[in-house]
Amino acid sequence: MIGRIALMVSLVLVPCIPTSTRAQDVPGIEICTVEKTMERRTSCLQSNVDFLQKTIGKLGADHQQKLDAANRQIEGLKATVAGLQKIVDDLQAAQKKVAEDQKKKAETPPAKDGAPAAAK
């Protein structure tokens, strides 16, 4: 029972302890229409503009890096395709040569061993 009370008291009192991080502004889009004075509203809008410009800059840099990486990959793949095409061409030429050699062997009659049969 005493443990539960101590736990509840600590849970209630912990948010009351002042910290230096509470005063920091979290960057992001703010709703500026709730500001009463023109100076505060202008400042709020300028803060939103700055945040959006930084975000666009970061996204632009990220996308440029992705495009550069993709272009490098494309160039590597082009080189690989060129190498593979050369291998295919070499294999086709070798296959054609083998086919021609076999065709020549089939056209030439085999040499006969012994005397011709017509001489009898």
Tens of pLDDT along 51-85? 999 999 999 999 999 999 999 999 999 999 999 99
Question: Virtual CA dihedral for 87, 88, 91, 96, nearest 10 degrees?
Answer: -140
**Average predicted confidence (pLDDT) for the chain:** 83
Report the percent of the chain where pLDDT is more than 70: 70
Q: Which is it for the CA torsion 24, 27, 28, 31, positive or negative? A: positive
Residue 8 lies in a domain: no
26-57 in b/e form (b: 16+ CB < 10 A) is eeeebeeeeeeeeeeeeebeebbeeeeeeeee
What pLDDT score was predicted for residue 34?
A: 85
Question: Virtual CA dihedral for 41, 42, 43, 45, nearest 10 degrees?
Answer: 90
Residue 64 lies in a domain: yes
Residue 69 lies in a domain: yes
What is the arithmetic mean of pLDDT over 8-21? 58
Residue 6 lies in a domain: no
Whole-model pTM: value is 0.51
What is the arithmetic mean of pLDDT over 15-37? 69
What pLDDT score was predicted for residue 31?
A: 85
C-alpha to C-alpha distance for 19 and 107, rounded to whole angstroms: 98
C-alpha to C-alpha distance for 83 and 67, rounded to whole angstroms: 24
What pLDDT score was predicted for residue 58?
A: 97
Residue 79 lies in a domain: yes
What is the tally of structural domains in the chain?
Answer: 1
Residue 47 lies in a domain: yes
Residue 74 lies in a domain: yes
Of 84 and 34, more confident: 84
Of 98 and 17, more confident: 98
Q: Token pair for residue 75?
A: 């160039």
Domain that residue 86 falls in: 27-103
